[in-house]
Chains A and B, each alone.
Chain A
Amino acid sequence: MNLHTLSRSWLAGLTAVTLGASALFGTAHAATPPTDEVMTTGLAVTDDTVKVGILHSLTGTMAISETGSIQAEKLAIKQINEQGGILGRQIEYTVEDGASDWPTFAEKARKLLQGDKVATVFGCWTSASRKAVLPVFEQNNGLLYYPTFYEGLEQSKNVFYTGQEATQQILAALNWANEELGAKSFYLVGSDYIWPRTSMKIARTHIEKHLGGRVVGEDYYPLGNTQFGSLINKIKLKRPDLVFAAVVGGSNVAWFKQLKAAGMTADRMPMLTISVTEDEVLGIGKQNVEGFYSSMKYFQSLDIPSNKEFVAAFKKEYGDDAVIGDVTESAYLGPWLWKRAVEKAGSFDVDKVVAASDNMEWKEGMPHGYTKVDPNHHLWMRTRIGQWGSDGQAKVVWESDVIEPNPFPEGY
């Protein structure tokens, strides 16, 4: 009981700060509108519930990364339900396991849309899983909120991308490195798959065309590679001003450990990564990341009231040891974005929700600050540079203006 009241009072605070507008809207609808009014397309909506899907890997190699997203999505849904749900309906969720396997993702997406008739899906993590489910969502006119920062080059009526696309994450960060660190020569390193390669392509063009800098080396290693000795030697020989890295997964751990072992500490070789969040730091170890920079829209340490509340709620739900990375926060946005769009549309129908989403704006309230939904289904937001400290948390050293999402950058 005590717990309950606690979370209620906390939530009242959240509602007041965060979602002032939508909370008002919610109360206006308190007299639950009839089902045939809010849904005309056969979705699983009853008079007091609405069903949604959560589609992530619970097993397999990607389970490591996707756990945080599931937790965030569940937390957001729980909070929305405690506020009275959406259009007077409580959200019920079905969790499906994509098992780190792309066809399984497609299969489970089809099950959620065709079998369970869910009103929306929160899910996917890797680009490959998103590419696999994309045709399913387009064909069945489903709705997907996708949380990961990704390579761009995609835009679909049926998908909202709550993470940053590549240009948002990269361009401002490189400008910063150029101005603040005086970096002129860069070494690009990535795991060998689409996101790092596309990101590095954008980075290279920006460095060469707009910063007047030089790329002295560019290297890709297979996913799961754990030997970076030769690469580190190459970097030592080329002596770039900055290493720009997008190494993922288990490789990331080996990469940082071996950098440290080779004496390449942050003071000798500055490095800016776009693939290290608080989640990754857990695996890499605080002692190995100290001093390096990450470019993200969100860090757990952000000094914004709405973030403090979010962090507190997350820790209360999942324990004090829980950490929140950028993607986890993006996943948390999904249900809130959807709630507001549904309430604005007054309907769960996908077409109406999509139409209502355009240009929705949060001046404050989201854990990462200003947010606006662009008609291209990506979000306007700020990019931040964080420097990792010995406590495993990042200190924000620089913050950009709000950046327009541009998934199909011209000239890159």
Chain B
Amino acid sequence: MQRFIKAFGGPTVLIQIAIIAAILMVLLPATTEIFRLNLFGKYLTYAFVAVGLVLCWGYGGILSLGQGVFFGLGGYCMAMFLKLEASTPEATKIQTTPGIPDFMDWNQITELPWFWEPFHSFAFTVFAVVAVPAFFAWLIGYAMFKRRVGGVYFAIITQAIAVILTILIVGQQGYTGGINGITDLRTLLGWDIRTDGAKYLLYYACCVALLLCLLVGNFIINSRFGRLLIAMRDQEDRVRFSGYDVANMKVFVFVMASVFAAIGGAFFTLQVGFMSPTFIGAVASIEMVVFCAVGGRLSIVGAACGAFIVSWAKTSLSDSFPQIWPVVMGALFIGVVMFFPRGLAGLVSDYGSKLMPGRKSQSKPSTDKPDTASRSSAGATPQEQA
């Protein structure tokens, strides 16, 4: 039992996760109406991305500005399945070609494209939600980390990939739904996802999945691998000289992060009822990094909370002061980066350890300064790190 608890980062982390579970699954549903709860469910999907970013950015030192790509790929896979289910020949009989999604018909496509075919199967879709982004991440990661591209370069290239994919999806609207995205999703395996009951169920499913991700994430960072990650982040060359394959470690953690993001994307589609290229672009991707940074890039629980709180604040601020929220968001970002690099989690743990001096705070990394995250690859060109 002791070992089990330790494997997930000690009792503090487990207690935190339990508290989050209680808030998400008991307190919120009991106190909010379904409309708000559905919104909360949407915010939670960003928490998946934030958890992934803690792994690859906070611990791996790899900043990806293209997490929206994976969020979007996961979401699109799910949306394709739901769209096919909504496009039965009966429901689409006014079209020239019944039985294909409406936007294809508008674009004179008369046959379902080959890559849509497998999405008739739910089993394949679930597999694809994870596998497609994972493969994509592996491809990018393998190509880049094997050549020791890191730091800033990786960030810029992933951002460019996000831009490319957005233009591609918008441009190929016959196959992708274009800028409108894939809309008007109705049922999942014959079960109407737009009813209140379905929204409750989906919300709970999303919570459970998120809690599992939190556990898995904590398990990873508290494992031997997690310690290696920190070592690699702070002194990449020493780890390499000790005989570890640094590139493979980076690829693995990047793929993990993308899988988390993709699961979030799939839940987003289910709860919101559509998917569009806006979530793939550079702006959406960088916002996801904001969530993580505000919550605390070194704390899995913190980042998840950050995602939830920032997106909530964004909605309520833009409700009441539409002109102000970009400014607040920007200021928050500058403030966090300059004054609280460890984010909310850092504040909470500092404050907590003051109250309870005996207790070791969990979110404090093994290194004293969090900003070492990027030092190893900073400024130097990849070649020079060799």
Contact = CB atoms under 8 A, between A and B. Distances in A.
Interface of A: 58-59, 96-97, 99, 101-104, 106-107, 110-111, 114-115, 126-128, 131-132, 134-135, 139, 153, 192-194, 197-198, 201, 220, 222-223, 408
Contacts of A111: 35
Interface in B62-115: 94, 102-103, 106-108
A127 B180 contact: yes
Contact of A114 (B35, B103, B181, B325): B35
Nearest to B192: A139
A223 B35 CA distance: 33
Contact of A135 (B108, B194, B325): B194
Interface string B254-296: 0000000000000000001110101000000000000000000
Main SS at interface, chain A: helix
B170 A222 contact: yes
A115 B170 contact: no
Contact of A193 (B38, B179, B315): B179
Nearest to A224: B167
A376 to B, nearest CB: 13
B318 interface: yes
Contacts of B173: 193-194, 197
Contacts of B167: 192, 222
Nearest to A128: B180
A126 to B, nearest CB: 8
A197 B107 CA distance: 9
Contact of A103 (B35, B272, B325): B272
Contact of B180 (A101, A106, A131, A408): A131
A135 B79 CA distance: 15
B274 A132 contact: yes
Nearest to A222: B167
24 contacts: A58-B322, A59-B322, A59-B323, A59-B326, A99-B318, A102-B274, A103-B276, A103-B278, A106-B273, A107-B39, A115-B35, A128-B180, A128-B181, A128-B276, A132-B276, A135-B184, A192-B167, A194-B103, A194-B178, A194-B180, A197-B173, A201-B108, A220-B171, A222-B167
A107 B194 CA distance: 13
A408 B94 contact: yes
B368 interface: no
A101 B178 CA distance: 15
B319 interface: yes
Nearest to B103: A194
B158 interface: no
Interface of B: 35, 38-39, 42, 94, 102-103, 106-108, 167, 170-171, 173, 178-181, 183-185, 194, 272-274, 276, 278, 315, 318-319, 322-323, 325-326
Given A97-B322, A153-B106, A139 B194 contact: yes
Contacts of A139: 194
Contacts of A59: 318, 322-323, 325-326
Contacts of A192: 167, 170-171
Contacts of B323: 58-59
Contacts of B103: 194
A289 B378 CA distance: 49
A191 to B, nearest CB: 10
A136 B116 CA distance: 26
Contacts of B106: 153, 194, 198
B170 A134 contact: no
A102 B279 CA distance: 10
Given A132-B183, A153-B106, A106 B272 contact: yes
Contacts of A223: 170, 179
A285 B181 CA distance: 33
A106 B171 contact: no
B87 to A, nearest CB: 14
Given A102-B181, A107-B315, 18 more contacts: A58-B322, A59-B326, A97-B319, A97-B322, A99-B318, A102-B274, A107-B42, A114-B35, A115-B35, A126-B179, A128-B276, A131-B181, A132-B181, A132-B276, A194-B173, A197-B107, A198-B106, A201-B107
Contact of B35 (A96, A110, A131, A194): A110
Given A128-B181, A201-B108, A99 B322 contact: yes
A104 B180 CA distance: 13
Contacts of B326: 59
6 residue pairs, one from A and one from B, having the closest CB atoms: A97-B322, A58-B322, A193-B179, A131-B180, A128-B180, A131-B183
Nearest to A127: B180
Contacts of A97: 318-319, 322
A135 B102 CA distance: 14
A126 B180 CA distance: 9
A134 B185 CA distance: 11
A193 B322 contact: no
Query: By CB atoms of chain B within 10 A, which of A59, A131, A193, A198 has the most?
Result: A131
Contact of B179 (A99, A114, A128, A198): A128
A294 B315 CA distance: 38
B183 A135 contact: yes
A107 B39 CA distance: 8
Nearest to A63: B322
A106 to B, nearest CB: 7
B332 to A, nearest CB: 16
A192 B170 CA distance: 7
